Each structure stands twice: as C-alpha cells, then as structure tokens.
Structure 1
Amino acid sequence: MARSQKKPRPAGPPSARLLSRTLKTTFGLDHLREGQQAVIERVLAGRDTLAVMPTGAGKSLCYQLPALLIEGRTVVVSPLIALMKDQCDKLAQQGVAAVQVNSALDGTESREALAAVADGTARIVFTTPEQLANAGFREQLQQHPIGLLVVDEAHCVSQWGHDFRPAYLEIADAAQALGRPTLLALTATATDEVTRDICQQLAIPAAGVFNTGVYRPNLHYTVELVTDDTHKLERLKALLVGLEGSGIVYCATVKAAEAVHEALLLARESVALYHGRLKADERRAAQDAFMEGRARVMVATNAFGLGIDKPDTRFVLHWQMPAGLDAYYQESGRAGRDGEPATCTLLFLQRDKAVQQFFMAGRYPGLDELDALYAELLRAPGQTLAQLVERLDIPRTKLQVAVSLLRRLRIVGSDADGQLRLLKETLDSQTLHRLASEYQARRENDRAKLEQMVDYAQSGHCRWRVLLQHLEGEASPGDCGTCDTCRRLAQHQAELKRESAAA
C-alpha cells in the first residue's frame, strides 16, 4: 500500500504581484470580489476554511486561483458529475491541467484521467466522494503531494443539511489518508446548525468560517397557486412564452421531468431533459445543448445544476416544491449569476407535498434495518453494497446511509473492492437504539423543513424576508420590493392613494 504523502510545506503566501498577474493572465479578471479576497488569502496561508457564499459569488475561483499558486496538487470533491465536466471544460480553455475521475467516464477517458493523476501532470483533480472513498484511487492520489482538498457543496456533509450525501461522511478520513492538506469547504447555503455540523465533521475551527450573506437583490421571487396539474401546465407554458432568455424548470421526480419535457416539446418549446437515470452521453448532450444556447429551457431534477455556471440564466421555475427552503434557495439561485434581474417562480400545488414526504420515508434507516445489516455482515462478511441491496429488503439509499454511519463509527470497514467487513464482532442493543434515535430526530427535522417550504408558498410576507429569516436567523431590515407579495402590496397602496385622492 502506498504511504500517505506529507502535507507540502507552505512556501509562504505568493506576492500580491504574482497573485494579480495570475488572476489576470489565467482568468481574465482585474480584481477579486470582496468575499473572495479573504477566503483566498486564508487558503494561501494554509488555514482550513468554510466559505458560505451566495450562488454567483465566484466560489470556484476561491480554489482555482490558489491551486495555481500553492505547492502540490488540488483535489476537488463534488457531488455531481455535471459540475466536474463544466469546471474541467472551462479550466482547459484557460490552459489549466484539470481532470475528472468519476463513474461516467468511458474506458479511454478513465485511463487518460488516471494516467494524469498517476504521473502528476493533473494540477486539479475533480472527483466524487464515492470515488475518494475507494482505497485504490486514494493510493494513486498519494503518489504526489496534495496541497489543497476542496469540499464543494459542503452542506452535503451535514446530516442536518438539505442535500445530505452519505459518502460525504468519509471525507474526513480521506483527508487524513492524503496527508491532511489544507481544507476548503464551500457552500451557498448553510444555516447556523448546518455550519456547526460541517465544522465538526471536517475539523474546521470557528474562526475559519466566512459567511458573506445570501441576499441577492437581482432575484425576483414569485409563487403561483395552481389547482391541479392541468392548470399548472397551462401556467408553465404561459410563463415560458412571457419570459425572455434561457432558464431551468425543476421537477422533483424523474417521471414528472419526463412528462413536462414531453409537454413542452409538443408546445414547440426549445427544451432539453436532464436527470440521473439518463445515460452519461445523454446527460452530456443535454448539458451542452443548454450551456451553448441550443436549448432555451432545461427540464431537470436536482441532479442538474450544482455549480453549473451559465451566468445568463434568466429564470428558474419549480414545477414541484423542493424539500425545504435551503434546497429552494440553492436551486433558484442558479438564475441571474451575471447580476442582472432574474425571475424565480414556484408553481405551488398543495398535494405536491406528498412527493417530498415519500422521499423522506425512504431516507433514514430504523432500528430493524440497522440490526438486519449488522446481522447480515456477521453472517456473511465480504459483501459489497450492491450485494447487500439484493439480499436485504432495504432500499439502497437507506442501506448506503447505514453503511456509511457504521464505517464512520469504525464498526464496519471496507477494502479497495468495496467489500464490507465487521470491525466489531459484538454490538450491544443500546448502541443500535442510540443510532436509530438519532435518525428519528433527523426525520423530524426534515418534516419541519418541509412545513417551512409550505409556509413560504402560502405566506403573505416578503419572499426574501422569509428566506433570510430561515437562512440567516434574522429577517432583512426591509422588504425587497421586487417579489410578488411586495409588488402586490405596493399596488394595493397605490390604489388606496388614488381612491383617497379621488374622494
């Protein structure tokens, strides 16, 4: 087994002149934004950092610029393959040696990427948390020093976050195996609770948290109440006719995305489709069509969008509500990244709440499922996750959460081939009960978040005020003046003034 490389010694932060020259020659920028400056300076000084910055604030530059200036390569962990492709394409255009390593690559692409990892020519390596958990891949990364480990979409680390991914729980262990390089975690959404959890999971000190705020005045929020799916489709078509530029229509399920896509094709809309069940080449073609402007509208599940940089996206429409306000802010925030006005509309149908309730029911394992998993590994060690899915009557998502938790607690271990074995031959029922009760608390947390999403849709208050109250723990000092409720109130007040003047 390859030995872990030591963390490269900081050679001292680069000069302001070198930083400025690299920023200009590679990225074509004259200056950094306010939030970027502080984060980049801290990373270059070798200090672990969590940056909470709104969508469109330039989070990617916070690791791309340091990656060219520090000793050692940079490894970027991302939850979505679409993000890696987008980032790699842009970096290649800028002359930066970047590769992606994930399950969507074909044989030739995978061999070329792994060769660049092995020989050290890849300056930036993008990968998924699942890939990073693979011992064989980590051994390849260990062949050359790593100066920076980036955890993008870091809210996925938190089990209290809106988009928790079980594989993210293993990043802390991977960081140790890679020599504990400087760590930069990035997210656009993190409540105080989620921020604390991220810092605890990744051992980031409280002083390393930078939160630049989430308010974006160019985003104009609207909710339309609809009575049924037929009414909803009529409104969607009408909205698309009235909206200029390109945009995204988000659906909560693959079935809904396919149905909406077909309906818009019949309406002669310029539209593409993206969801996780499509083949890799189909997803790539859809993404390219949208990014290059050949498709005006992208109909997608939340598999599309994290980190996708299409600054001129003028609208984001939600066909179904997401699981909570964190997710809604994240997804709607993909509009208007160029700073120009953009529209964010939720088509609210009360019964759509049941879709998210269905997802919640299959998210966390209970006591019986944890017990069944432990008993199966005790009976037949060496099984992979796929084999366990076949042998146990437990949904894959629940099994993945349970396995990740038991690995993190050193109850279960795995080899390079993903074969799982118990590290503890006995496990008392009290420990299992404690684990199950923790997940019960998370179920209750998810239910509360869904109710907040419904309250937002039905609220008569400023949309931004409601969002900021949730995301930052305090309401904005004033109403935004641009959301539907603010415009409605302004119109009502204007009518009262006219009536008063007429009287």
Structure 2
Amino acid sequence: MKAPSAPQSKQITTLLRKVFGIEALRDGQRNVIDSVLAGHDTLAVMPTGSGKSLCYQLPARLLQGLTVVVSPLISLMKDQAEKLEEAGIASAAQINSSLSRADELAALEGIESAAHDIVFCTPERLITPDFLALLKDSDIALVVIDEAHCISQWGHDFRPAYLEIGAALEALGRPQVLALTATATDDVIKDIRTQLGRPRMAVVNTGIYRPNLHYRVKQVTNPSEKTAQVLELVRSTEGVGIIYAATVKAAEEMHAQLKDAGESVAIYHGKLRAGERVENQNLFMSGERRVMVATNAFGMGIDKPDTRFVIHLQVPANLEAYYQESGRAGRDGHDAECTLLYYHADKRLQQFFLVKHYPQAEELRAVYEAARQAVASNERAAFTEADLKPRLEHISASQLKICLKMLKDGKLLKRSRKLDYSLAKTEPKAAQYEEMARVYADKHERDREGLEQMVGYAQSGYCRWKLLLDYFGDAAPGFEQCCKCDNCLSPPAIQLSSFDQPIELATAADIDTDIDTATEPGVPPIATTALPELAPAPLVAAASAMALPRTAGTA
C-alpha cells in the first residue's frame, strides 16, 4: 500500500489535533485512511468502538469533492451530521424520509450548489432516479457504505435495499468506495466485493478481539430461573446495560418484570410507535433509564460507550449476530460483561425463524414473465420495479428486489445506468430458474448450520474468545485463552461437544410468532448467515487443554 507523502502526513496530524482533537490515529484507522487517500477501493473490518467514522471524516477534509455516506439508519445519520456540524468538522447534509419537505429541499439545494462536504443518505434514497441525477452532477470523491455486511446475502443482517448499491455506483461512474463493517467472514468479504463490482477491493481487517469484554454463558432450566438470573445480573452489575430478547413478547414481559421489581428500565422494539421508540431511546442514552430491554431493532449505530453489560435472553441466530450485539458493551475500553442465558428450549425459536420464504423457481419465472408483459404493454424495451409491482401482488417488495437481482445475475435481465431494466436476448430455460433458486436452498442449510454453531458456543467448555476468533478466522498471534471468560475462570470437568447433537425442527405451534424485525421504515432485514464449517469438538478433560479446531479456510 502506498504510504502518504510527507506533506499529506503533516496535514493529517494537523487535522487530527486542531479539528478532531485527537493526538494520534490507532493502527487500524491509519491503515484505512492511508488506503483511501492512496485512491484504493477499501473494505474496513473493524470492531465496534474502534473509530470507523473517523476513517471517512478525515479523508473528507482532504479529498477534493463530495463524500456520500450510505447508512441504513436514519437516527445514526442524524446524529453524525449534527455532530460534524456542531464540531465544525464538515458541512454535512442528510437526505431521508424523516425530513420535512422544506428541510429536504434545502438539503438538495445545498448539494446542487456544492455547499456540503458530506451527504448522508439511505440506500433507498441513493437509488432514486432524481437523487442519482443530482449526485451525477456533483463532483463525488468517495462513496462510504456503512454497515457493509448488509450487502451480503451470506451475512447475518442482509437487507435487500443494499442489493441496489452496486448498480447505483455504476450509474455514478464508479467512484471510489470505502465500505465499513464490524464483522465479516471470508464468505461475506468475497460477496461484498462481488456485489459492489470491486473484485480487487483492498481489505483492512484489524481483528475482532476486545479484551475488555468478558463473555459467559449461564445455563437455566426454566423461564422462572431465567427471570431470576436477569434480576440478579442487573442488580449485581454496576452501570448501564442492554437486555436483548428474540421477540416482542419476550421483551415486553421482561420489561414488565424488571419494572415491577423497581428497576430503572426502558423498552425498545419495532412495534412501538416511532415517537415512543425515540423517547425511550433518549431516556436510555441520557442516563435517565439504566437498562434497555430490546429486540434486535435496537443497537445498530447506537453509541453508548459506557454500557457495562449486555444480556441475551435467548440464543441469537448465529455467532455473527451475537458478536455484533454483545459488542455494544464496553465501547469506552473499560471492562464489560456479555452474558448469554441458555435455555435449551429457546433454540426452537430460532429454528422457527429459519423457516423463511426464499425465492423459488416458480417465483423467478413469474417475475420474468411479468417483465415480458411490462415490456409488451409499455411498447418500450425498458421497465422499472414499479412497472412490475401491480402484476406481482403476491410477491413482497423485498422479495421482488431479490428476484430481479437474481435474474440480472443469471443474465436474463440487463440494467442500465438509469437503473431501469430490459430483457436480455437469452431465452430462459426451465433449468435456469431451478439453478438460481438452488443458491437460496443452500443458504437455508447454512443458516441451520449457523444456528448449530451458536448452540455449540452456548454449550461449549472452550475459551469463549477462542471460539469467536476461530469462527471469524482471526488468527490473533499468540492468543491461547482470554483468562477472563467463564470457561477460563472455572473450567468444566468434562464437556461433550454440542456439534454432535442434532437440532430438531420447531413447528409454528411451538413458537410465539410475535417477531420483531423492524429497524427503520423501508429497510426490511432478512437474517442470513456466513458459515465456515466447524469440525466437531472432541471430549475434553479441562478448559486448559482445549484448543478449538480451526474453521475451514481460516488461517
């Protein structure tokens, strides 16, 4: 990687001290910033709390032109834009659905007149023709994609809206890209490069290890014991914390129990009114409430550095989701506790979540036929997603995006720089639809295996950090054990690997279906998994003798 010139290094040092109030960059930040300033497309994989935002804020001051930041969360971009303006770091604008018409017009006029250094937008807004046309007329220096794991269909938080970003980059003339995420397995990194059309994208991976996070798992035998454990943990741990529940119902029940016990507690989930969510979030962020009970709708982009504990009431779908959510503790670098309450019956809940509807061959065929009809009725070769929706009322908007992307990747559709579609000259064959649908059948199986690994983590006697490091393929030179997790501090006498134990599939009758998957309007998440295969662990005598088999394809 080309090192910055001496004058540029001096500029960076001056900016850090005078504008950002920072004496020196961390190693990971330095590597990312150097890569960006050298003109490379870059993917930065950096743990929560490592200062990812500085990796685009500082270059934005040095690059000639506009920096466009694509973020899935309106609350995050609002917070970032306001902080940049207040600190005098940059002139920032945000474009999203929360703005009044007057504020939106003012922001758009500011972009048109080149009055801003940084513009924040959602992926949905990025791909609208009018906004793309406005950006095309701007001098774009850098496009930043925050939460880049949302791009990957193999990631734990795949969002269909992100599928459009690659096409938008093409429409903008392929500007330089910086993608940011806290976690990415080898499969996810490969997919991010593919989806963005950047096969040579430089990767700066600073590793996931955060020694201030102390992981532990508490086995419980029934729901009452779980409630008692939560109350004990909340009362015995100082500082503020987050309790994650897998469903709205579980979150509401736990919130009520803690409130009845006299604890200072707030609640957050996607089925609350927008005003309630904002109010409850503010109560927690300001310190007026000590504990936030929430579903996975809460957390991405939340910056509460003094969070001292994160408790999970149920196992998440996979280790990626667990690392992301537990990693919201201890962002200030001080010690924090990450506790998973494991009740064996809870895995059936995640099994129910796995029974999702993926695109089938007949749906792909229906979308292609609707496209054919749209072309015939429009009397023009091009069509848009909006042209197809009235003909495909049985297919959701997010599912339609996925189908269109699959048909494009299968070379049955073409897409122009205006982001409209047209039929390719190739006539589809029935076998092609089946082949394309098979990708998602494979992914479903990987999701199941990902859950088995999560359950394996919960039942394991290995060092918790060793399990996480090996899952993500993080070599962490010299690392043997963290000496801080439950298994390191109290090694189990004997432990049977859970990877040898099959998972039984749940039925709808077993599961509370009051599921919360909301984040921000218009961004429906579809949970998926990146999964390196993990060899079954042997019987072991003590944690000190344990060394987790490396995942396939890792260092």
Same-fold call, TM cutoff 0.5: yes
Aligned counterpart in structure 2 of residue 201 of structure 1, from 195, 198, 206: 195
Shift of 1:211: 1.1
Return the letter of the residue paired with 2:83.
K
Contact 1:129/1:171, CA 8 A, preserved across alignment? yes
Contact 1:155/1:190, CA 8 A, preserved across alignment? yes
Equivalent in the alignment of 1:478: 480
Contact 2:43/2:201, CA 8 A, preserved across alignment? no
Equivalent in the alignment of 1:229: 223
- The verdict on how the C-alpha distance between 1:208 and 1:245 changes in structure 2, with shifts beyond 3 A counting, is same
Equivalent in the alignment of 1:60: 53
Contact 1:50/1:204, CA 8 A, preserved across alignment? no
- SS of the counterpart of 1:144? coil
- Residue 29, structure 1, aligned to residue 30, structure 2: no
Shift of 1:424: 6.7
Contact 1:271/1:299, CA 8 A, preserved across alignment? yes
Aligned equivalents of 2:490, 2:335: Cα separation in 1: 19
Contact 2:309/2:338, CA 8 A, preserved across alignment? yes
Aligned counterpart in structure 2 of residue 185 of structure 1, from 179, 183, 201: 179
- The verdict on how the C-alpha distance between 1:473 and 1:379 changes in structure 2, with shifts beyond 3 A counting, is same
Deviates more, 1:366-375 or 1:12-21: 12-21
Aligned equivalents of 1:118, 1:278: Cα separation in 2: 37
Percent of aligned pairs sharing the same letter: 50
Aligned counterpart in structure 1 of residue 489 of structure 2, from 476, 487, 491: 487
Deviates more, 1:29-38 or 1:202-211: 202-211
Q: Deviations over 1:318-337 (max 9, x none)?
A: 12222111111111111111
Contact 1:272/1:299, CA 8 A, preserved across alignment? yes
Shift of 1:485: 1.1
Contact 2:461/2:491, CA 8 A, preserved across alignment? no
Q: Deviations over 1:384-415 (max 9, x none)?
A: 56984995444554344324433555655799
Please tell me the root mean square deviation across aligned C-alpha atoms, in Å. 3.1
Return the letter of the residue paired with 2:330.
G
Aligned equivalents of 2:85, 2:71: Cα separation in 1: 18
Return the letter of the residue paired with 2:484.
T
Equivalent in the alignment of 1:8: none
- The verdict on how the C-alpha distance between 1:282 and 1:482 changes in structure 2, with shifts beyond 3 A counting, is same
- SS of the counterpart of 1:221? strand
Aligned counterpart in structure 2 of residue 77 of structure 1, from 67, 70, 75: 70
Contact 2:167/2:419, CA 8 A, preserved across alignment? no
What residue ranges of structure 1 are gaps of 5+ in the alignment?
1-10, 494-503
Contact 1:100/1:127, CA 8 A, preserved across alignment? yes
Aligned equivalents of 1:380, 1:278: Cα separation in 2: 39
Aligned equivalents of 1:82, 1:403: Cα separation in 2: 29
Aligned equivalents of 2:131, 2:79: Cα separation in 1: 22
Return the letter of the residue paired with 1:57.
S
Equivalent in the alignment of 1:343: 337
- The verdict on how the C-alpha distance between 1:216 and 1:186 changes in structure 2, with shifts beyond 3 A counting, is same
Contact 2:463/2:482, CA 8 A, preserved across alignment? yes
Aligned counterpart in structure 2 of residue 91 of structure 1, from 84, 89, 106: 84
Aligned equivalents of 2:416, 2:271: Cα separation in 1: 28
Return the letter of the residue paired with 1:29.
I
- Residue 210, structure 1, aligned to residue 204, structure 2: yes
Equivalent in the alignment of 1:265: 259
Shift of 1:462: 0.8
Equivalent in the alignment of 1:445: 446
Equivalent in the alignment of 1:7: none
Contact 1:40/1:62, CA 8 A, preserved across alignment? yes
Aligned counterpart in structure 2 of residue 38 of structure 1, from 31, 35, 39: 31
Q: Deviations over 1:28-53 (max 9, x none)?
A: 11110011111101111211111111
- The verdict on how the C-alpha distance between 1:340 and 1:403 changes in structure 2, with shifts beyond 3 A counting, is same
- SS of the counterpart of 1:460? coil
Shift of 1:23: 1.4
Equivalent in the alignment of 2:461: 460
Equivalent in the alignment of 1:174: 168
Q: Deviations over 1:4-35 (max 9, x none)?
A: xxxxxxx9896222211211222211110011
Shift of 1:432: 0.9
Aligned equivalents of 1:109, 1:373: Cα separation in 2: 38
- Counterparts of residues 356-435 of structure 1 (less than 5 Å): 356-379=350-373, 388=389, 392-394=393-395, 397-406=398-407, 411=412, 426-435=427-436
Aligned equivalents of 1:354, 1:479: Cα separation in 2: 31
Aligned equivalents of 1:216, 1:338: Cα separation in 2: 11
- Residue 306, structure 1, aligned to residue 308, structure 2: no
- The verdict on how the C-alpha distance between 1:176 and 1:108 changes in structure 2, with shifts beyond 3 A counting, is same
- SS of the counterpart of 2:351? helix
- Residue 322, structure 1, aligned to residue 316, structure 2: yes
Aligned counterpart in structure 2 of residue 247 of structure 1, from 221, 241, 246: 241
Contact 1:135/1:415, CA 8 A, preserved across alignment? no
Aligned equivalents of 1:136, 1:163: Cα separation in 2: 28
Aligned equivalents of 1:184, 1:394: Cα separation in 2: 33
Aligned counterpart in structure 2 of residue 115 of structure 1, from 93, 109, 116: 109
- SS of the counterpart of 1:249? strand
Aligned counterpart in structure 2 of residue 163 of structure 1, from 115, 137, 157: 157
Shift of 1:383: 7.9
Aligned equivalents of 2:260, 2:107: Cα separation in 1: 41
Shift of 1:269: 2.5
Return the letter of the residue paired with 1:112.
A
- SS of the counterpart of 2:62? coil
- SS of the counterpart of 2:317? coil
Shift of 1:379: 4.5
Return the letter of the residue paired with 1:484.
D
Equivalent in the alignment of 1:6: none
Aligned equivalents of 1:450, 1:211: Cα separation in 2: 25
Contact 1:481/1:487, CA 8 A, preserved across alignment? yes
Aligned equivalents of 2:314, 2:425: Cα separation in 1: 44
Shift of 1:110: 3.0
Shift of 1:488: 1.0
Contact 2:411/2:426, CA 8 A, preserved across alignment? no
Deviates more, 1:278-287 or 1:383-392: 383-392
Q: Deviations over 1:286-327 (max 9, x none)?
A: 332222222222222222222322211111111222211111
- SS of the counterpart of 2:491? helix
Contact 1:385/1:400, CA 8 A, preserved across alignment? no
Aligned residues: 483
TM-score by length of 1: 0.87
Shift of 1:92: 2.5
